[in-house]
């Protein structure tokens, strides 16, 4: 999400915005938003309704969370692009910006490509800190 924070001026220049959706409650989502200094809202889907209806539900991780995903939705609510990602490969934020910029071409936009995510020691330490702070969630009954 920090990549989208950093790219927000370019995204806004294309007339677009960014919104995140999380299965976490409002307090946890707001804490994340503040810690990452995100200038966009994080919507809470604690009932997992949206992520299930949009086929984003990952039952295997942390008791049920959303897979990383990117949607580009037009002002008329038409989904122009959808990427359902996994932990190891995600859509490049730069490619999403290019997709937004070139979206009106005659041949249509080139779909954003995926980049490999290779977490380093700092990412592992951050994940461990978050686990110790927030605990490990068990699957819902």
Q: Domain residues of the chain, as ranges? A: 2-134
Give mean pLDDT, residues 81-92.
75
CA dihedral 117, 96, 48, 62 (to 10 degrees): 10
> Between 138 and 120, whose confidence is greater?
120
First to last CA, the chain: 29
Query: How many helices (H) does the chain have, and how many strands (E)?
Result: 5, 8
Residue pair 45/51 in contact by the 8 Å Cβ criterion: yes
Residues 19-65 have pLDDT tens digits of: 888 888 999 889 988 988 999 999 999 898 988 888 888 887 777 78
| Assigned CATH topology for domain 2-134 | Glutaredoxin (3.40.30)
């Amino acid at each position: 999400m920090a990549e989208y924070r950093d790219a927000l001026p370019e995204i806004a220049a294309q007339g677009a915005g960014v919104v995140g959706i999380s299965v976490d409650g409002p307090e946890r989502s707001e804490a994340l938003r503040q810690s990452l200094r995100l200038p966009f809202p994080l919507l809470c889907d604690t009932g997992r309704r949206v992520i299930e209806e949009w086929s984003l539900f990952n039952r295997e991780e942390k008791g049920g969370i959303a897979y990383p995903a990117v949607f580009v939705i037009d002002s008329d609510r038409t989904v122009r692009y959808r990427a359902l990602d996994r932990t190891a490969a995600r859509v490049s934020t730069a490619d999403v910006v290019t997709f937004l910029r070139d979206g009106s071409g005659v041949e249509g936009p080139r779909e954003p490509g995926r980049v490999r995510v290779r977490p380093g020691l700092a990412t592992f330490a951050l994940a461990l800190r978050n686990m110790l702070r927030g605990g490990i969630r068990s699957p819902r009954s």
